[in-house]
Amino acid sequence: MSTTKTDVVIIGGGVMGASIALELSRHGRKVVVIDKGGAAGAGSTSASSAIIRFTYSNFNTILMAWENAQHWFNWNQFVGIEDPDGMAKYIQTGYLVFLTEGYDGLRQRELWDEFGIPYEVLSPEEVKKRWPAFETGKFYPPKAIEDPAFADDPYDQLSALFDPLSGFMDDPMLAAHNLAHAAKHHGAEFLFHKEVTEIIRDGDVVSGVVLKTGERFEAPIVINAAGPHAAAINRMAGVYDEMKVHHRPLRQEVFSPPAPKGFRLEDNAPVVADLDLGQYFRPHMGDLLNVGTTEPACDPLHFLDDADNWNDSVSVEFFERVMLRLARRLPDFGIPHKLLGIGALYDVTDDWIPLYDKSSLPGFFMACGTSGNQFKNAPLVGKFMRTLIEAQEQGIDHDITPVEVMGEFTGMPINLSAFSRLRTQADTAGNVMG
Ligand SMILES: Cc1cc2nc3c(=O)[nH]c(=O)nc-3n(C[C@H](O)[C@H](O)[C@H](O)COP(=O)(O)OP(=O)(O)OC[C@H]3O[C@@H](n4cnc5c(N)ncnc54)[C@H](O)[C@@H]3O)c2cc1C
């Protein structure tokens, strides 16, 4: 069987692997990306709601989202190479988060002030004035439809935090394709329909990977960007057990029903985080909505042992639950008669914060645990991984002396220890909000 030597092997050609490939190939490294799927971004990236927002829970996570947003705002410039298949586009809608139990937005506002992120606090009347399609009543806590209290009238009114600059990327898979195309321009190679089945070592350091076909790729650096399969890859490398934060695949369903009048893109409808009812939604092209959930306590979580063995269709019960909840917030929403949506997988960590880190196996790095909220941070993940690799090459142990990446826009440093596999504490919403 053939053996290929290269500088870096990246396992996974989703938005993360493609972004890392672009950054490393731009900086002169010879990169091979290996993906068992058929195209860049065809894995969980293709199912992404691709929302770009800045509402995280702490300094590093909000700063990271804000710095990354600048690259989505100027996507063509960030990618640097025009993709003949078209470029993904940023759709600016603004982002509205209802203020309810457990979410007062105060910490966000403090940090948004510090970073210069514009926002407004809107009274229920102001929300209704701008978007009459909303019911601004308070229903908290989110409930299952079997709960007799599900149909209760609202008992209070909700204010909201609105930032005008958030939005979404129109096509997340195309964004990954754009990154891969640019990385190829800089010399990276992408191999599809090839599955990594073994991580190899030379003594105490990583030395490459072996594929199902028996082919070997030898490299002093191997990066795990395998999305929902990343925990299996970390186990393969023998580094999973040392981690203090673990991660595993979580099955999700997202829906795409028609948007009611007053809540389409042409109506200037915003992206909405509605923790009051346990949902998020946004307008989508074609007069559709994109609807997902925020893991409210009443919804069971479906963690999987095997990211290759799951059902990718939506279930009737969950569809009904999510659609009826949506109708509480958008009273003119007409519940569709057929199931419109898909099943998909997140790679969720214990605290819903990602893992951008080295490991105890020198040369083996990870960009995973993206917890349903890291599409927006893909542009800078390449730089994070390059910084971690260069630190290791300079003999700096990031576990002991954490490395930082300077935010080019704010001039403030993002401390990568926030994404360490060894962290024991993190300020986090504990759900997809991160
Ligand atoms: C339904 C849904 C909604 C989301 N909404 C948002 C959002 O609104 N905003 C946001 O910021 N984020 C969101 N996310 C999260 C974001 O989309 C993901 O974090 C991101 O796309 C993950 O990219 P990835 O490259 O890590 O994984 P993937 O895109 O899954 O790529 C991993 C790749 O690894 C390959 N692979 C796996 N195992 C192997 C192996 N053994 N050998 C070779 N290749 C392998 C797979 O084939 C796959 O292509 C959402 C995610 C989902 C699923």
Q: Which token pair is 147?
A: 């709960």
Q: Tell me the mean pLDDT in the region 69-96.
A: 98
Helix (H) or strand (E) holding 328: helix 316-329
Do 63 and 190 lie in one domain? The reply is yes
**If DSSP states are collapsed to H, E and C, what string results for 84-98?**
CCCCCCEEECCEEEE
Q: Which atom of ligand 1 is nearest to the CA of 373?
A: 12
Give the model's pLDDT for residue 169: 98
| Domain co-membership, 82 together with 204 | yes
CA–centroid distance, residue 45 to ligand 1 (Å): 4
Q: Give the pLDDT mean for 2-23.
A: 98
What does the block give as tokens for 209?
């990977």
Query: pLDDT value at position 1?
Result: 81
Where residue 320 sits, what CATH number does that domain have? 3.30.9.10
pLDDT of 429 > 90? The answer is: no
The Cα-based distances of 11 to 146, 222, 308 in angstroms read: 43, 7, 16
Q: Whose CA is nearest to atom 15 of ligand 1?
A: 372
- Of the residues 348, 376, 404, the one at which a domain ends: 348
Confidence of residue 434 (pLDDT cuts 50, 70, 90): confident
Residue 13 sits in the same domain as residue 131:
no
Which of 44, 93, 212, 281 most suits a substitution to test ligand 1, by most atoms within 8 Å of the C-beta?
44
- CA 368–ligand 1 middle distance (angstroms): 9
What is the distance in A from the centroid of ligand 1 to the CA of 85? 21
Q: Does the pLDDT value for residue 428 go beyond 90?
A: no
Q: Are residues 215 and 344 in the same domain?
A: no
Percent of the chain with pLDDT over 90: 97
Tokens representing residue 91 in the block: 């759709």
pLDDT digits (tens, 9 = 90+) for 100-110: 998 999 999 99
How much of the chain, in percent, has pLDDT values that exceed 70? 100
Q: Which domain holds residue 287?
A: 95-164+249-348
Instruction: Enumerate residues lining ligand 1, CB below 6 A.
Output: 11-17, 34-37, 41-45, 47-51, 195-196, 225-229, 252, 254, 292, 344-346, 370, 372-376
Q: How confident is the model at residue 430, as a pLDDT? A: 81
CATH number at residue 176: 3.50.50.60
Looking at residue 267, the DSSP 8-state letter turns out to be G
Say how many domains are in the chain. 2
CA angle 125, 129, 131 (to 5 degrees): 115
Last residue of a domain, one of 348, 365, 384: 348
Ligand 1 center from residue 230 Cα (angstroms): 10
| CA of residue 47 to ligand 1 center, whole Å | 8
For ligand 1, what atom is nearest to the CA of residue 342? 1
One domain for residues 160 and 48: no
Mean pLDDT in the chain? 97
For residue 157, pLDDT beyond 90? yes
Tell me what pLDDT residue 181 has. 98
- 431 assigned to some structural domain: no
Which pTM was predicted? 0.98
The per-residue pLDDT for range 266-313, each reduced to its tens digit, is 999 999 999 999 999 999 999 999 999 999 999 999 999 999 999 999
Q: How far is the CA of 143 from the centre of ligand 1 (A)?
A: 29
